[in-house]
Homo-oligomer: A and B are copies of this chain.
Amino acid sequence: MTQPQGFFYPRSATGQASLLPAPPWFYAGDLLTIEFRTDPARVAELLPAPLTLAPEDPGAVALIWADWQSCGGTKAELLDPVRAQYKECFAVVRCAFEGRVYSRCIYIWVDKDFALLRGIHQGYPKKFGSIHMTRPHPFAPAPQVAAGGSFGATLAANDRRLAETVITLTEPAERNGFVNGHPMAHHRWLPAIDGKGDVHAELIESGGAKFEGAQPWRARIDHFKLFDSPTEELTRLEVRELIGAYYRQIGVVWNGGKSLVPAIGR
């Protein structure tokens, strides 16, 4: 008997209906990053054991907006772009595990279903949001990725604005910030169907299998605000000090990862 085909839901006769092709997944897009310091206790409370705070600058947080086009190996989604384009905004902290520093996404909002389901696979805690970013373009009134270019970015969910920023590029930078620069350490959880804890809880590591990037740019932060919401805890990450802002265009391939702690559940 032939089994239904497909990398993830839904599995079907031919696999055509599957929301996700099997990795590798290919991405091209723009990243707008704000880095700031919060109380390290606010980071610690988001790290499940066995993860601990990063030894240096443990209160550093990156809030990153991304405007992506992505696809599987056939690249078919790119030419039916409703299936390729999505935007996301995500908060990243650093943590330590067995003496190594990792990045970890603690909150993330996306605007397409395929991105949300990829998150279940990758351990990104995805919800839906409405994300907007000014886009660079060769002609005015749009900005260019160059000194003086101003970019706005906003995040909303459930019809409430959650975060907004405006930055102005100032000079080339050596890197695109430091908080999101490590391999990701994420939990893949599946609550038990009988409601008693998790039936699967796995700590995994993943990162880009291939990476290209344009010159990163440093930016002045003209405006940055987080808003309260009954459905979020973003404002618990109180901004004690702004670190910096960055803008970069990149291309990435993601092709899976590995288990760090294969079975820590139930």
Query: With an 8 A cutoff between CB atoms, is A28 at the interface?
Result: yes
* Chain B residue contacts of A2, Cβ below 8 A: 45
Q: How many copies of this chain does one complex carry?
A: 4
Q: A233 contacts B107, CB within 8 Å? A: no
A233 touches B14 (CB 8 A): yes
Chain B residues with Cβ below 8 Å from A204 are 193
User: Which residue of B42, B132, B232 is within 8 Å of A85 (Cβ)?
Assistant: B132
**Cβ B193 vs Cβ A256 within 8 A:** yes
- A135 pairs with B69, CB closer than 8 A: yes
Pair B256/A194 contact, Cβ less than 8 Å: yes
User: What is the distance, in angstroms, from A144's C-beta to the closest C-beta of chain B?
Assistant: 10
Given A3-B48, A16-B232; A250-B125 close (CB under 8 Å)? no
Please determine whether A159 and B82 come into contact, CB atoms closer than 8 angstroms.
Answer: yes
Known contacts A2-B45, A13-B236, A45-B13: A191-B139 contact under CB 8 Å: no
Contacting residue for A159 out of B137, B154, B191, B259, CB 8 A? B154
A26 to B143, alpha carbons, bound, how many Å? 13
Question: Cα distance A134–B78 when bound, in Å?
Answer: 6
Q: Tell which of B47, B193, B200 touches A190, judged by Cβ atoms closer than 8 Å.
A: B200
Known: A17-B233, A233-B16. A249 touches B81 (CB 8 A): no
Which residue among A70, A84, A140, A143 has the maximum number of chain B CB atoms within 10 Å of its CB?
Answer: A140
A-B contacts, 5 of them at CB < 8 A, read: A10-B107, A11-B189, A16-B233, A193-B257, A193-B258
